[in-house]
Amino acid sequence: MAPNKTPKRAPSNAAQAVIGNVRLSHPDRVYWEDAGVSKRDLAEFYSHIWKWMRPHVTGRPIALLRCPEGAAGQCFFLKHAAAGIATEHLHLVSEKGDKIISLDDLAGLIALVQAGVLEIHTRGTTSGDRERADRLVFDLDPGPGTGWSDVVAAAREVRERLARLKLKSFVKTSGGKGLHVVLPIKPTPWDEAKDFAHAIANRMATDEPARYTATATKSKRNKRIFVDYLRNSREATAVAPYSTRARPGAPVSTPIEWSELGALKGANQYTVLNLPVRLGRLRKDPWANIGRLRQKLPKFA
């Protein structure tokens, strides 16, 4: 869809709908045309999975990808409250003359759906302690000439290296092309946290330069996995667990068990359409204990 075109709307007998105590205007406006997912569908999806998503987004600074014309239209990345986003249900925190956004409850998330927000990104910190990190993210981004098996191998490599340092990590799909390995830590100053992530990435690139790179330069990423440690700074963000992506098929960034990795077909396997079925079949939350871990980073270089 061209950015200046009005998005198509599914037929509707109702001009409005109320979900999560938030009134949606034009609830049948289509956000993902290829998947047939409307604003109402997205709001109902988040309502259904909120108990899974809540621990990973509430109380954290968030950034937003707003796509008022749908996933195929023009999108805007916002780190602060801006025009077009009603703040009645949001938690705003003053920072450097701006208002950063945080969620307290489902109503805040549905208010973002109403505003056309198709991606939620979180910082690796809490709103009340923004000078220290409590989660690190290793974003494994496949370069040209790499395959899905290479991404899976990279995730396992990160896990093994962290495990040798007696650190437990978690994994999720990005909803795009790669995987995110997430490390919960004891609140740590940002410079120390980033240095640690950088050291892991550099060590992988040094030990296996034909497979990994720790630099974002595109010319160095051919046939390599970029071990992106740059998500780990004070204002950097990564897509939140259970957030949708503004990509074809309405994919969702989805936490999984490490034991599921071998059977995973791709980073966009789970979507708005099939994720509720997966969650309904799970016997336990793959990330159930992540919020309880306060792991101290060892000295590592």
The encoded tokens of residue 262 equal 């071998």
Residue 90 CA to residue 235 CA, distance in Å, equals 19
Rounded Cα distance between 36 and 272, Å, is: 10
Residues 101 and 157 in one domain: no
140, 286: one domain? yes
Range name among 104-113, 211-220, 231-240 with the lowest pLDDT average: 211-220
Residues 159 and 261 in one domain: yes
Relative orientation angle of helices 190-207 and 148-164, to the nearest 10 degrees: 120
End-of-domain residue from the set 122, 154, 178:
122
Tokens of 104: 């307290």
Q: Give the Cα separation of 81 and 102 in Å (integer).
A: 10
Residue 7 scores a pLDDT above 90: no
If asked whether residues 295 and 172 sit together in one domain, one would say yes
What CATH code is carried by the domain that includes residue 93? 3.90.920.10
Number of compact structural domains in the chain: 2
Of 60, 95, 122, the domain-final residue: 122
Bridge partners of residue 91, in order along the sequence: 102
d(CA 268, CA 251): 5
Residues 165 and 295 in one domain: yes
**Co-location of 155 and 34 in the same domain:** no
pLDDT of 219 reads 86
- How is residue 193 written in tokens? 């946290």
Of the residues 122, 155, 177, the one at which a domain ends: 122
| Domain extent for 170 | 131-301
Nearest CA to 179 among 119, 228, 213, 214? 228
Question: Are both 45 and 151 inside the same structural domain?
Answer: no
Residues 12 and 46 in one domain: yes
Work out the pLDDT band at 6, boundaries 50, 70, 90.
very low
Per-residue pLDDT reduced to its tens digit, 114-172: 999 999 999 999 999 999 999 999 999 999 999 999 999 999 999 999 999 999 999 99
Same domain, 180 and 293: yes
Within this chain, do residues 64 and 175 fall inside the same structural domain, yes or no? no
For residues 198 and 276, state if they share a domain: yes
The verdict on 107 and 143 lying in the same domain is: no
The structure's pTM equals 0.92
